[in-house]
Amino acid sequence: MIIYVVKKGDTIYSIANAFGVSAEKIISSNELKNPNDLVVGQTIVIISDYIKHKIQFGESLYSISRKYNVKLEDIINANPQITNFKNIKIGTEIIVPLNDEKLGTMRVNGYVLPGIKESVLIKTLPNLTYVSVFSYQVLRDGTLKGVNDDYIIKSALEYKVAPIMTITNIEEGASFSGDLFNSVVSDAELKETLINNIISTAKSKGYLGVDVDFEYLNPEDKNLYNKFIQTLSVRLKENGLILNTALAPKTSANQMGVLYEAHDYGWHGRYVDNVILMTYEWGYLYGPPMAVAPINSVKKVLNYAVSEIPSNKILMGVPNYGYDWNIPFKQGTAARVITNVEGVDIARNNNVAIDYNYLSQAPYFNYINGMQKHIVWFDDARSIQEKLKLVKDYNLGGVSYWNLNNYFPQNWLVQNALWNVEKIIQ
């Protein structure tokens, strides 16, 4: 795999010619809708067994091997026609094999919402271990408000992907509610009703597990939540069901704030099968402009998480979206949610180049619409690659994407070049 960053004057054909690959293959694999109008700073993922490289002034086989991250001996073996590797003429065309060694096998979860296009779902499923349908809402009588999920479950099973039922404490017609959680789980009878409903619904629908995404819990309900997870874990295991939980991105055990205090990393690590860390939303809808998941901030969460949770249980959250903010930022104003593909489109439509922040490991750019200044942060192939490398660096179980209703072709090109995806359904 080669991740190429478009430079001024590049065309899709000059890029294809430079690497000795088919322009049509590049266009198809990246699903480029505007291949004749590339954006400076845009990433292009080149998937091939080998590329052709013309020797430039000052280059050596060693520098070429470093450039493409290929073993020197592999380049030598791929070019038996060259007898003097220490004195290769400028302009000589050599073969550079791209025998990418994968980093290993990981588990991949993806959240989807009912209403996902069937074409998007079908293209996405081969890349997943689990698909988590968002969401069944807990009601105050211990019942669940369901969603239209039959077609997602059926498709998932056909593609050997485990469907997971996500349950939330989202108050009907409102948002996440700590009071809703407390009113149901603090009542022994309602708690039992809820657990019975979770199990019966999961089994009748054909789900293979449950994902508990309870957010903004009252800090004083930490022990109540812990005991609920412990009890639910036992009951689900008795019924052959997986238990995942989604946790806020903490950097310490005593981190303050309603989002964090009731989420006990060590406890969840003990009782659940997969802990999904929501390592995103540093740049958020009503917040000041910045990368959604800056890698330096993600690492701080992982550094703490692996001290409390068995690392192979952790699925690191990866966002599948970006934001477009008005600047200067005004408190109380909302950004516009965009897709990663749309980020490139906005840059193209406003004739601006895409920059890259190496501290955050994320692309961004500024533009002006009328009199209004904007800044856009999103993800591209480079930033996805850096995130996926963290799975190896921290020996994680894998990743979890929020959310996959919009298809991002380069994400899957990069993921599948780096990792094999574990399948728990044979």
pLDDT digits (tens, 9 = 90+) for 22-63: 999 999 999 999 999 999 999 999 988 888 888 999 888 889
How do residues 81-135 score in pLDDT, each as one tens digit? 888 878 888 999 999 998 778 999 999 999 999 999 999 999 999 999 999 999 9
Rounded mean pLDDT, 135-142: 98
Does domain 2-97 match CATH 3.10.350.10?
yes
Q: What are phi and psi of 136, to 5 degrees?
A: -90, 125
Element housing 384 (H / E): helix 381-393
Question: For residue 373, what pLDDT band results from cuts at 50, 70 and 90?
Answer: very high
- How confident is the model at residue 118, as a pLDDT? 96
Mean pLDDT across the stretch 385-398?
98
Single-letter amino acid code for the residue at 108: V
* pLDDT tens-place string over residues 153-179: 999 999 999 999 999 999 988 999 999
CA distance 59 to 424: 47
Percentage of the residues of the chain whose pLDDT score is greater than 70:
100
- Say if residues 318 and 293 touch (Cβ distance below 8 Å): yes
Instruction: Please pick, among 93, 118, 215, 422, the residue that the annotation labels catalytic.
Output: 215
Among the listed ranges 73-82, 226-235, 368-377, which one has the minimum average pLDDT value? Answer: 73-82
Domain ranges of the chain: 2-97, 104-319+385-421
Active site residue 24: no
- Above 90 in pLDDT, residue 191? yes
Q: Which one has a higher pLDDT value, 280 or 61?
A: 280
Distance between CA atoms of residues 248 and 256, nearest Å: 12
What is the reported pLDDT for 67?
A: 85
* 104-319+385-421 belongs to CATH 1.20.140.10: no
